[in-house]
Amino acid sequence: MAERRQEFGKRGINPPPVITHAPQGLPGGPEPHSHRRLRTLAIALGAIGATAIGLAAGVESGERARSCPPPEEVKPEDPPCPSATSSSHGGSGRGFHGSWSSGGSGESGHAGASFGGFGGAGSAHGGFGGGGE
Amino acid sequence: MRRESSPLRPDLEAHFKEIGFAYAYADGEPYWDESTRYVFSLAEIEDRLEAPTQELHALCLKLVARVVASDELLRRLKIPSFFFDAIRKSWARRDPSLYGRFDFAYDGQGPAKLLEYNADTPTSLYESAVVQWFWLEALIKRGELPKGADQFNSLHEKLIARWREIAFSRFLHLACMARSIEDAGTIAYLEDCAKQAGLSTFSLDIADIGLQGPAFVDRHGRRIDFLFKLYPWEWMLADDFGKQPAMLRTRFVEPPWKMILASKGMLALLWEMAPGHPSLLACYFEDDPHCAALGERYARKPLYSREGADVELVDGATKTRSDSDGYGDEGFVRQALCPLLDFGGRRPVLGSWLIGDAPAGLGIRDDTSLITSNHSRFVPHVILP
């Protein structure tokens, strides 16, 4: 018979949690975020869900807006920039919170992108509210 | 396995708010129920849950290899033919999987029996990984559980490690239907794990994925190269963007080959591949004459459905139907009936998690209904010596 492990959840490292307990990540991980960033994450995770995430992003947006490149210069590896400052993003008009908003099908967005091409089938199964199971 | 009463922690509401468990009382009904707990021995966990999970995962990978080689089998699972190539390529590349959850019936005696595999968009992750861990720690600290008490739960550390392993420093987008508080919560948790793994991330509503030329983009114009989607493959393919060439450019988590395992048809193909396996229930496509072997005791399940919707249990003249959410157009399978163990009217389904290729934890939902659904309650578990 295989040797019994003594403990499942405590294998050689500290217990999992997590968001509030280990914001710096596990040993060997990357450099920790700045204190301000951690605080923002804590806010977002303190009220998980669309509203809170939008709020957290909003907290950051003011600072980021000052260093945002123009949309045509945004690269995939760049951090997110608040869309409220640019009309070219189209969408909800609620600024960064709009990242959780639902754009209509065929809606124009950033630099001619169209939005709303995903989500329709999910809405057709709206009885349970989401795509998870 | 036994179910027993468990003392409630004080100030639960404040605690849930602190840790971000926003759907503990979804729809006004208690979803999290710590007035009871399930208790296991270590041997039960290792031999009857962890081992079958590992074994079934290996079987599933074998099944995928078989299905991708056959147009007929892909069609049998009602996967659209325009997506065959994407599935094959993702399998050939071995596009990595992050996670999955096997749902088992367990009678406390024999091996756990696979009811279904949530291979594409499993939720109940945060409560499995974090909320019940806090519960365990609190009860040990209060002396309500012995110090040696443990839990089948290494989900959190494995999720972080897995993100680090599969992301290759790519910028990660995470998308879901944000109106669902449970899905948004799952995304938020997974995003936090990804950040702890060192990734740069951005969460968005599925409808905020844009198409710009040959690529998907977010509303900031960033190309979406690496996307975690809590949105089922069959829905993606039914949507307007589902046939776009951009589908071949973005790398998805879960990857396209997981669609094979997300169909309930995989239960029939698994049984065909490994008939009599102790952790499988006999299962056949509804148009298969072998269905007759099940007699009048079977569960009828749509090939694609969520949260137990549109499932029917047939036990002789007694028929139990779950809520309908419009599933079933692609057909059904019939699976041998396997009643859940009854603990004074509560019936548990054991969700056994895989992270990558490793069994990683357990989340239990129970219900008074014979069919576990999104109305079921999450009940914590503990391993006692």
Binned average pLDDT, 10 residues per bin, chain B of 385 residues: 97 90 81 96 93 96 97 97 96 96 94 96 95 95 94 94 93 95 92 93 97 96 97 96 96 98 97 97 97 95 84 90 81 94 94 96 90 83 94
Q: What is the torsional sign of CA B363, B369, B374, B375?
A: negative
Residues in B touching A17 (Cβ below 8 Å): 19, 130, 133-134, 137, 156
Q: How far apart are CA B18 and CA B178, in angstroms?
A: 21
Alpha-carbon distance B184 to nearest alpha carbon in chain A (angstroms): 5
ipTM (interface pTM): 0.91
Report yes or no: B117 at the A interface, CB cutoff 8 Å.
no
Least confident range of A11-25, A79-93, B121-135, B360-374: A79-93
Q: How far apart are CA B159 and CA B197, in angstroms?
A: 9
pLDDT for residue B377: 94
Q: What is the pTM of this model?
A: 0.82
Residue B103 touches chain A, beta carbons under 8 Å: no
Which range is least confidently modeled, A73-77, A113-117, B186-190, B258-262? A73-77
Domain boundaries defined on chain A: 35-102
For B191, list phi and psi in degrees, rounded to 5: -65, -40
Contact flag B188-A18 (C-beta cutoff 8 Å):
no
pLDDT at position B94 is 94
Nearest to B220, CA basis, from A103, A52, A49, A85: A85
Query: Do the chains contact at B326 and A112, CB–CB below 8 Å?
Result: no
Spatial neighbors of A118 by CB under 8 A, at least 6 apart, are B175, B206, B207, B209, B231, B236, B239, B240, B241, B242
pLDDT at site A78: 52
A129 pLDDT tier (thresholds 50, 70, 90)? low
Map out the domains of chain B as residue ranges. 2-147+343-383
Residue B77 backbone phi and psi in degrees, to 5: -85, 5
Rounded to an integer, what is the distance from CA A92 to the centroid of its chain? Answer: 17
The answer, yes or no, to whether residue A106 has pLDDT greater than 80, is no
Asked if A8's CB is within 8 angstroms of B133's CB, the reply is no
CB contact under 8 A, B208 and A131: no
Closest CA to B364 of B41, B131, B158: B131
- Do the beta carbons of residue B201 and residue A45 sit within 8 Å? no
Task: Name the residue among B354, B261, B380 with its Cα closest to residue B51.
Answer: B354
